[in-house]
Amino acid sequence: MKKYKVAIIGNGGRSVSYGKAYSKCADVEVVALADSNPKNTRTMAKMSNLSGFASYCDWRELYDKHPDLDAVVIVTPNSLHREMAIPFIERGIPLALEKPITTTMQDSEAILRAAKKHRCRMLIGFVLRSAPFYKKVRELLDLGAIGNVLNIQADELGSYGVSSIICRSPWRRYQATSGGSLMEKSSHDMDLLNWFSGSRPVSVNSYGGRLLFNPNPNFPELCIDCGHKECKYHSTPEFSLAAGDAVLQDFAQHRDAEQVCIYNVDKDVADNQSVSIEYSNGTIANFMLSFNCSGPRSGRNFHAIGTKGRIWGNVEENELFLFENQSGKTSKIELGKIECGHSGGDEGHALELVKMLRDPSYMPAQDDYAGYLSNAVCIAADISRIEKRRIAFCYDADGFISFN
């Protein structure tokens, strides 16, 4: 049996779902791991049940020493994607690249042009396309269950743990390295809205900013020095465990940043944002991102209105409903048990790369152009939010976008 040789670059928490999935595949061998922090590599390998791999602190050394790889997974901070991806793209091997594709339009376009030139098939990390909830939404839309889609309302109401990760992470809290909170946290959602609309975005309007996590002179720099023990963001081991982020406790990058005050730590990303998107087929989508949320109906909510009915539900509660205008009937759609992270999408997404290896003609739907469109919406939304104006999309003959 042929064994496909795969390398994973970036060994933080997000890499575990890839490692676990590939450790179960008889025809896939993870031959190399790279991370600037060796502790992350050891932790990731243990959690993923991986062994017998070469380990590197510099991805360039991995690149030089493994010219015969069959595929590469890149799960690193967003601003590093172009630098790391293009050398592997030039080899023409399948590449799984964590979302967002990059942090700028220029870098995204460079990746697309390189992939086209070298015939590189890419899988962008939109794991939610593989989640049972969203797969069923797409299936119902394709079946015409609600007719033509008129409006989509979606939101992501981030928990205390999510807020902590965005605001305390050494790189997520900066626009330059993450691309902003909308891009870092909700490029998934922009991709889903693009996918469900069935057409391309043509304009964006957005409002928002940082209204909650602003400097407070009454709080010290570190939680350990703070008397406000009742603060929902007071950093203790129990805080992270209660927030559902226990897996991150084993990764040095998150742990080292965890003690800083969420209000006083230096950052420049928004903590709330609303986005309205107009599509070429007339569909209108509205999306809200807000942190500081917990309890019922938090997480991701979704509502699509069509000419024949409606679909709605909450992803974390794994509930989806269909209303049919003609019959007046409301049905609860069975989705099955969630077996892995990202509402059941992680493993299925990782296995998309295996499909690409086994079938040289297989092209995943969440490809580089899907990543480019999601990025375009996120970037346009931030321009709109900051400049307080509507952003129009102009497409050239190759599908590349300029903003007006």
DSSP string of 154-174? EEEE--HHHHHHHHHSTTTTS
Q: Helix 160-168 to helix 181-197 angle, to the nearest 10 degrees?
A: 120
Q: Looking at the structure, tell me whether residues 147 and 163 fall in a common domain.
A: yes
Q: Does 28 map to a domain?
A: yes
Q: Tokens in use for 308?
A: 């024949």
Q: Does 345 map to a domain?
A: no
Q: Does 41 map to a domain?
A: yes
- Residue 246 confidence (pLDDT): 37
DSSP letters for 237-294 = HHHHHHTT-GGGGGSHHHHHHTTB-TTTS-----SEEEEEEEETTS-EEEEEEE-S--
Q: Does 300 map to a domain?
A: yes
- Residue 338 confidence (pLDDT): 79
Q: Does 70 map to a domain?
A: yes
Q: Looking at the structure, tell me whether residues 88 and 197 fall in a common domain.
A: no
Q: Does 242 map to a domain?
A: yes
At residue 362, the 3 state secondary structure works out as coil
Q: Looking at the structure, tell me whether residues 120 and 12 fall in a common domain.
A: yes
Phi, psi (deg, nearest 5) at residue 44: -60, -45
Distance CA 145, CA 137 (A): 10
Q: Looking at the structure, tell me whether residues 321 and 219 fall in a common domain.
A: no
Q: Looking at the structure, tell me whether residues 91 and 174 fall in a common domain.
A: no
Mean pLDDT by 10 residues, the chain (404 residues): 94 93 97 95 94 97 98 97 98 98 98 98 98 97 98 93 88 95 97 97 98 93 85 66 41 57 94 98 98 84 98 94 97 86 89 98 97 99 98 98 98
Distance CA 291, CA 186 (A): 12
User: Domain boundary residue among 266, 286, 306?
Assistant: 266
User: Domain boundary residue among 241, 266, 291?
Assistant: 266
Q: Does 159 map to a domain?
A: yes
At which residue do the structure tokens 């060796």 appear?
Answer: 38
Q: Looking at the structure, tell me whether residues 233 and 104 fall in a common domain.
A: no
Please give the tally of structural domains in the chain. 3
Q: Looking at the structure, tell me whether residues 310 and 175 fall in a common domain.
A: yes
> pTM value?
0.93
Amino acid identity, position 97: L
Task: Return the CATH number at 136.
Answer: 3.30.360.10
Q: Looking at the structure, tell me whether residues 220 and 138 fall in a common domain.
A: no
Q: Looking at the structure, tell me whether residues 306 and 162 fall in a common domain.
A: yes
Q: Does 123 map to a domain?
A: yes
Q: Looking at the structure, tell me whether residues 183 and 271 fall in a common domain.
A: yes
Q: Looking at the structure, tell me whether residues 119 and 62 fall in a common domain.
A: yes
Residue ranges making up the domain that contains 239: 214-266
Q: Looking at the structure, tell me whether residues 134 and 120 fall in a common domain.
A: no
